[in-house]
Chain A
Amino acid sequence: MKIIYHCFGGAHASAAAASIHLGYLPADRIPGREELLSAPLYDGPDSATHGILHFVGKDRAGHEIFILGRKQQTKMLEILLRSIVGVLGHDPAEWKFVNCYQSFNLLMMIGGYSSRALKIVVFGRPLVMWGTMLAYRRIVKIVQKTKNEIS
């Protein structure tokens, strides 16, 4: 399978989810700031990269893990991906979309927007990391549910 963790900007909730899936971030405890920042692409992608699929890695079962920032275009991008993949002669059913939106909180939204869209990293990054820690258990649940579904 090819799994796409997606959220609004593709920089926080989905980046954390992909790293949890791949074991770069712990699933049994809440990581510290250093750990979060060292996760691939965490607080990295900005609005210029919306729509670009970022490959993060392969899990032990051989599933490929991607993250995607999709603004509010969840439905359109999923239809588009399945449609294009089909036209290119591949199997659209290989792709699984996992929405990480439900793990959001206000801190992640304000911090994420400040850091990525407004580029005020000094202000936004601590907030979004705090928000990620608060939402962490919910993100872990999303990943576990996904892993159960594909196993």
Chain B
Amino acid sequence: MKIIYHCYGGAHSSVIAAHLHLGNVQNTSPSVKDICNLPRFDKTADTAAGQLFFMGRDENGDEVYILGLGSNTRIGVQLIKSLLRYYRIPDHEVLLVFTLPATRMFSRLGGFISRVLKLAPVGRPLVAWDVKRCWNDYVTLVREAKSQKGERQ
């Protein structure tokens, strides 16, 4: 099975969710520095929209990916579902999880400052601080994704 965490830029909320899923970070809130140091955190360029990145395999051997779909999430998701239908891949083989609902305003602002304005020293800590504030939302999101995954298998 493949789990795809997707958000706007594929640089922040999806990365955090993927790390939580893979157990690379604990459910208890980490420090801002730890968040900044997570692999791929605040790394994806805004030109990489649509590109899947493989983050690792979880405890069940399922593949975890991250993806940024820009402002047109619906169109991207419809294309993915079209391709799954075309290749006759059953629904339970690929789970799409939208991670943007776990974010708040400062994550989006910081993400914009870092990735679009290219001011990572300002934007990165701002996102990380906001991620820390919303940590429980991420934990809930990933827990729900995992239970959804379990139901499908």
Q: Which of B48, B49, B72, B80 is in CB contact (< 8 Å) with A84?
A: B80
Q: How far is the CA of A16 from the CA of B74 in the complex (A)?
A: 25
Scoring B67, B78, B84 by chain A CB atoms within 10 A of each residue's CB, the highest score goes to: B78
| Interface Cβ pair total, 8 Å cutoff | 78
Inter-subunit contact B65/A51 (CB<8 Å): no
Q: Given known contacts A50-B78, A51-B77, A80-B69, is B49 in contact with A87 (CB within 8 Å)?
A: no
A-chain residues with CB within 8 Å of residue B74 when the two chains form the complex: 50-51
A69 nearest CB neighbor, chain B only: B75
Q: Given known contacts A83-B51, A87-B2, A87-B65, is B76 in contact with A77 (CB within 8 Å)?
A: yes
Q: How far is the CA of A55 from the CA of B83 in the complex (A)?
A: 11
Count, chain A residues at interface, CB 8 A: 23
A89 nearest CB neighbor, chain B only: B87
Q: How far is the CA of A123 from the CA of B89 in the complex (A)?
A: 41
A-chain residues with CB within 8 Å of residue B80 when the two chains form the complex: 80, 84
Inter-subunit contact A51/B78 (CB<8 Å): yes
A54 nearest CB neighbor, chain B only: B82
Q: Given known contacts A51-B82, A84-B52, A84-B83, is B89 in contact with A73 (CB within 8 Å)?
A: no
Q: How distant is B107 from chain A, measured CB to nearest CB, in Å?
A: 21
Inter-subunit contact B50/A88 (CB<8 Å): no
Inter-subunit contact B75/A71 (CB<8 Å): yes
Q: Which of A50, A52, A68, A78 is in CB contact (< 8 Å) with B50?
A: A78
Q: Which of A50, A52, A76, A84 is in CB contact (< 8 Å) with B70?
A: A76
Q: Which of B2, B50, B84 is in CB contact (< 8 Å) with A77?
A: B50
Inter-subunit contact B86/A53 (CB<8 Å): yes
A73 nearest CB neighbor, chain B only: B72
A-to-B contact residues, CB < 8 Å = 49-53, 55, 68, 70-71, 73, 75-81, 83-85, 87-88, 90
3 smallest beta-carbon distances between A and B, as pairs: A51-B78, A51-B75, A80-B50
